[in-house]
Structure 1
Amino acid sequence: MFSLFDEMRLTTRATARLALNYKGIPYRTEWLKHQEIAPKLKELGIPPNEPAPSGPPQSPYTVPAIQLPGGPGIMDSAAIAAKLESIHPEPSLHLDNGLVEKVGPLIGKVAFPLLPVFMPRIARDIILEEYAEWFAEARAQKLGMPLDELERTRGGDQAWEAARPGLIELTQFLAEQKRDDGPFILGSQVCYADFLIVSMMEALRRIGQDLFERFIQVSGDHSLRKLHEACQRWMRSDQ
């Protein structure tokens, strides 16, 4: 059975879980507290992330990660998806349709402007109390300012307005790609690119239902809500 290593209390990158559930692959989840992530992934023999060439520094070790039965550990959602597709090709994630490469930048246009909205909320409402101070300090180092200052100076309505063009572009992209009236990017056929969008939406929903609802409202379109609802069957939190 596969082992999935994920972050306790908040699955901010649900794509690996969506892919496992979609393919019907049995797995067990081992929930890790923040300061347990690096030691556990080192134990699995996973090499650390390369330093980010630009933008905020990237953590050396991140979740989700998986361990194959009797095999290696793999970190990073994209690498996990590629491995799952190679060893369990059906049902297909359709990684070769070119949509992942198009969706990634669109998600960035939405997520980065909203960082001053959701990151302080994660620190206050999601992180275990024993790690809250450590989490806030670590994120302040990466972002160049304390989270309360980030929220005060760059959050609120201005952050949502900054995300609006990206959200509109994302909904337009969904409309342009559809082959029929189905809820997914391609209509009735689901693919991994759908899971990228839905994992961002699910993260916002877990941080706060109000964030999820404003996400839909600012997009000006209910296609994103329909996509999220259509993926609920693969959104099981654990197995």
Structure 2
Amino acid sequence: MAATKKNPIILYDIPNANGASWSPNPYRTRLSLNYKGLPYRIEYVAYPDIEPKMKALGVAPVSNTFPYYTLPVIADPSSHPDGKPTYVADSFEIAVYLDDKYPTPTYPAIFAPGTRSLQHILTTQYYPATVSNIRLTIMPRMLHLFDARSVEYLKRTRGHMLEPYPDDVISQKWTEAEEKFSSLSKSAELNDGTMDAGPFITGHTVSFIDFALGGLIHWVKSIEGEDSYYLKKIFEWQGGRWKRHWEGIQKIENMSSQVN
């Protein structure tokens, strides 16, 4: 049975102190659901509650090391009236599941035929290397997003990742980040001037790596603010390519299939 507005997919996400989205990986899944037009509702789970909540639902750990449980997770309604939903963790695995369960031509595909392995390489190997310097410098600045309980939990479990860098190190890391994005842009430019030209990595057709990049921008914007120095910096790189990319992502965000 396909998800419906009355019985939608549940997306488990991490809230900020105001109960709003900020986290990059659940944002990938939000975009996946929007793009496919699948009805979903969001259930927010604060950092300290993720592991006990997922254990209570019977969701398997996603890692053998801490953190054992991470979000996003989705609950897809069962095809049987009294059956348990199907739980899927990890944004990439969720996208694969959604394409399999809700295939073309009824629903648009996140992965073009034959590209899952390539998208996996891009997302798990190329993407982390491209964005690592941004993540390292922005992560120590994110505690203001959360309530006191989540701040205490993060300091206790991830304190080593929250130590700020000296200004000169931050400057160097952003220089290196721009170089990485410049390399990515040169590859994306191969579509420019062709019939496939568009704002995304593969031109006018969005793919999962675009959702990953959109998640990064969403994260920086949530932490630093819409008019922040760092967000403007990214949007200025490579002649505004990433601003145009974000505008394309926002069109998918704005065609939301979320239900209340």
Please give the range of the TM-score, normalised by the shorter of the 2 chains.
Answer: 0.7 to 0.9
Which residue number corresponds to residue 12 of structure 1?
24
Distance 1:224 1:84 in 2: 27
Which residue number corresponds to residue 250 of structure 2?
232
Which residue number corresponds to residue 222 of structure 2?
206
Distance 2:61 2:169 in 1: 31
Which residue number corresponds to residue 31 of structure 1?
44
Matches within 5 A, 1:52-201: 58-70=66-78, 71-89=85-103, 90-94=107-111, 96-97=114-115, 98-123=118-143, 125-141=144-160, 143=161, 147-148=162-163, 150-152=164-166, 155-177=169-191, 179=194, 180-201=196-217
Unaligned residue ranges in structure 2 (runs of 5+):
1-7, 17-21, 79-84
Alpha carbons 2:63, 2:69 under 8 Å: kept: no
Q: CA shift at 1:61, angstroms?
A: 0.6
Task: Count residues with an aligned counterpart.
Answer: 227
Unaligned residue ranges in structure 1 (runs of 5+):
52-56
Let me know the Cα RMSD of the aligned residues: 2.2
What is the identity, as a one-letter code, of the residue corresponding to 1:94? F
What is the identity, as a one-letter code, of the residue corresponding to 2:13? D
What is the identity, as a one-letter code, of the residue corresponding to 1:157? S
Secondary structure of 1:66's partner? strand
Q: CA shift at 1:22, angstroms?
A: 0.6
Distance 2:122 2:210 in 1: 11
Q: CA shift at 1:102, angstroms?
A: 2.8
Distance 1:104 1:177 in 2: 23
CA shift digits 1:108-164 (9 cap, x unpaired): 1232112332111112x21223321321232124x4xxx33x423775212212312
- Normalised to the residue count of structure 2, the TM-score between the two structures is 0.79
What is the identity, as a one-letter code, of the residue corresponding to 1:20? L
- Normalised to the residue count of structure 1, the TM-score between the two structures is 0.85
What is the identity, as a one-letter code, of the residue corresponding to 2:10? S
Distance 1:132 1:226 in 2: 34
CA 1:104/1:126 → structure 2, altered by over 3 Å: closer, same or farther?
same
Q: Bigger radius of gyration, 1 or 2?
A: 2
Q: Which runs of 4+ in 1 moved over 6 A?
A: none
Secondary structure of 1:181's partner? coil
- Identity of aligned pairs, percent? 24
